[in-house]
């Protein structure tokens, strides 16, 4: 019953959020780098600073601080990803650029004040970033391969957020998370012979899976100047992708990794127009076998528990951000974030399908108070171009170099309504 409800509810979120067309936003691996325009204007920071309705996706305890508020946003996301294969092996040599370079993604939520100590909210957010579609199948030389070549993973989440003001300094928050994901792969015929279930590796259309997780957080006002924030979103055990049981480890398992974030914010008493924030986040990709299992060399066939994965490691993300309250109407933001490399050079052959290379994000943003109720927020984020070159003789037979690269542009704009 819970799984059925999860699929129905999150399917609505998937359609609403526009994730039917591709990745969700500027990404660390495939986890979004912040949620909502306020957070995105600070390169994803927000665990210790309330940033609006979508900020509850980062720290559910911030729901109390934002009070009665609704928000709607539209993100224009433009990733540029390509693969360059050097001559000297079975892979087709050349430079290949992925299609689908612009995506429009709506998002939103609402939060209500229940009483003097608690609030209740509902919000929707997404992850993406594992999306490629190449006109040329450069894997075809390994055995066979149709075109186009690529994969598409989309994840949507609904959070039901409760925040409680425990005392004058401490706020706690909890948000059950309903998740649904959709996946498809094309052109991977060359890998069917490496699988325990070769008929369920590629070209099987869309497959769906759902699950339920939990996000918890706290916001502690240590003094009039300092605030500490912490949040943890649990690993979400998702149903299997049965149509791709021969591709992903564990017979089609693809769970959502846990995410832990710790941060602090400082608002100087002598100049309260400014707030500075810094945070550390860890994304536990290493706990998801289908994405973390090694491929150079492989430990087992595709689809097995120890089957070929993408070789991703846990990712550490470091962020700094600033808020400047220019006057009663304008609020300005800026931020930087840096993430550790999620896979090494030996993983480039497999990660041509998922070239999650960007590590450095820079953002600017602003909010404008139109009147006592309405406001407008906009932000721009750039994920700087990052390339990685390596080879995997265990898969290709020879050390044929493959370079993967990506950069990203993102504009998020939205309206807020307070009452």
Which string of DSSP letters, residue by residue, matches 164-185?
A: EE-SSSEEEEEEEEEEEEEEEE
Determine the Cα–Cα distance for residues 232 and 214; give it in Å rounded to an integer.
8
**Confidence band, pLDDT 50/70/90 cuts, at residue 194:** very high
Question: What local confidence, expressed as pLDDT, does residue 359 receive?
Answer: 97
Mean of the per-residue pLDDT values for the chain? 93
In the predicted model, is pLDDT for residue 211 greater than 50?
yes
In the predicted model, is pLDDT for residue 145 greater than 60?
yes
The better pLDDT of the pair 343, 1 is held by 343
For 144, half-sphere exposure in the C-beta direction (CA atoms, 13 angstrom radius) is 10
Question: What local confidence, expressed as pLDDT, does residue 1 receive?
Answer: 45
Span 48-59, mean pLDDT? 96
Determine the Cα–Cα distance for residues 145 and 10; give it in Å rounded to an integer.
34
Question: What local confidence, expressed as pLDDT, does residue 126 receive?
Answer: 80
Residue given tokens 């002598």 in the structure block? 270
Burial letters 256-291, b for 16+ CB under 10 A, else e:
bbbbebbbbbebeeeeeeebbbbbebbbbbbebbbb
Question: What local confidence, expressed as pLDDT, does residue 16 receive?
Answer: 45
**Confidence band, pLDDT 50/70/90 cuts, at residue 2:** very low
Q: Which of 278, 219, 220 is nearest to 61 (CA)?
A: 219
Question: What local confidence, expressed as pLDDT, does residue 406 receive?
Answer: 96
Q: Look at residue 286 and give its three-state secondary structure.
A: helix
**Confidence band, pLDDT 50/70/90 cuts, at residue 127:** confident
The CB density around residue 15, as the number of other CB atoms within 10 Å, is 11
Burial of residue 362, with CB atoms counted within 10 A of its CB: 0-12 exposed, 13-18 middle, 19 or more buried: middle
Span 115-122, mean pLDDT? 97
Question: What local confidence, expressed as pLDDT, does residue 125 receive?
Answer: 86
In the predicted model, is pLDDT for residue 6 greater than 60?
no
Question: What local confidence, expressed as pLDDT, does residue 5 receive?
Answer: 42
CATH of 21-418 among 2.40.50.100, 1.20.1630.10, 3.40.50.11890, 2.40.160.60: 2.40.160.60
Question: What local confidence, expressed as pLDDT, does residue 62 receive?
Answer: 98
The percent of residues in the chain predicted with pLDDT above 90, rounded, is 87
Query: Is the bond into 137 cis (omega within 30 degrees of 0)?
Result: no
Cα 216 from chain centre: 18
Question: What local confidence, expressed as pLDDT, does residue 25 receive?
Answer: 56
In the predicted model, is pLDDT for residue 257 greater than 70?
yes
Q: Which of 377, 323, 387 is nearest to 355 (CA)?
A: 387
The percent of residues in the chain predicted with pLDDT above 70, rounded, is 94
Determine the Cα–Cα distance for residues 246 and 42; give it in Å rounded to an integer.
41
**Torsion angle (degrees, nearest 10) of CA 41, 218, 178, 356:** 40
Span 228-232, mean pLDDT? 98
DSSP 257: P
Q: Which of 64, 319, 354 is nearest to 183 (CA)?
A: 354
What does the block give as tokens for 407?
Answer: 């950069």
**Confidence band, pLDDT 50/70/90 cuts, at residue 39:** very high
| Residues contacting 286, CB < 8 A, separation 6+ | 292, 312, 313, 314
Question: What local confidence, expressed as pLDDT, does residue 383 receive?
Answer: 96
């Amino acid at each position: 019953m819970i799984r059925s409800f999860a699929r129905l509810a999150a399917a609505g979120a998937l359609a609403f959020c526009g994730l039917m067309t591709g990745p969700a936003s500027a990404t660390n691996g495939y986890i979004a780098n912040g949620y909502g325009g306020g957070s995105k204007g600070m390169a994803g920071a927000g665990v210790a600073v309330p940033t609006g309705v979508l900020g509850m996706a980062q720290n559910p305890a911030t729901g109390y601080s934002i009070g009665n508020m609704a928000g709607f946003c539209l993100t224009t996301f433009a990733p540029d990803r390509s693969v360059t294969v050097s001559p000297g092996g079975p892979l087709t040599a050349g430079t290949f650029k992925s299609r689908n370079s612009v995506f429009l993604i709506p998002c939103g939520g609402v939060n209500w004040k229940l009483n003097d100590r608690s609030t209740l909210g509902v919000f929707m957010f997404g992850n993406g970033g594992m999306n490629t579609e190449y006109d040329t199948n450069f894997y075809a030389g390994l055995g066979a391969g149709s075109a186009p070549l690529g994969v598409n993973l989309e994840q949507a989440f609904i959070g039901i957020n409760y925040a409680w003001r425990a005392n004058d300094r401490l706020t706690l928050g909890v948000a059950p998370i309903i998740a649904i994901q959709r996946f498809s792969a094309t052109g991977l015929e060359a890998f069917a012979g490496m699988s325990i279930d070769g008929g369920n590796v590629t070209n099987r259309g869309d497959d769906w899976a759902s699950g339920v997780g939990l996000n918890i957080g706290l916001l502690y006002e240590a003094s009039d100047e300092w605030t500490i924030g912490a949040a943890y979103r649990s690993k979400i055990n998702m149903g299997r992708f049965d149509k791709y049981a021969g591709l992903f480890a564990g017979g089609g398992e693809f769970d959502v990794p846990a995410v832990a974030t710790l941060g602090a914010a400082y608002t100087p008493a002598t100049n309260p127009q400014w707030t500075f924030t810094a945070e550390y986040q860890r994304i536990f990709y290493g706990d998801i076998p289908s994405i973390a299992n090694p491929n150079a060399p492989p430990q087992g066939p595709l689809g097995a528990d120890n089957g070929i994965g993408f070789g991703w490691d846990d990712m550490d993300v470091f962020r700094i951000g600033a808020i400047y309250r220019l006057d009663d109407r304008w609020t300005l933001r800026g931020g930087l974030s840096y993430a550790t490399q999620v896979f090494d050079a030996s993983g480039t052959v497999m990660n041509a399908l998922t070239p999650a290379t960007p590590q450095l994000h820079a953002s600017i943003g602003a909010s404008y108070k139109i009147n006592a109720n309405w406001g407008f927020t906009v932000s721009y984020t750039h994920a700087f171009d990052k390339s990685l070159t390596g080879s995997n003789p265990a898969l290709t037979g020879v050390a044929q170099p493959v370079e993967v690269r990506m950069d990203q542009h993102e504009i998020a704009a939205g309206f807020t309504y307070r009452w």
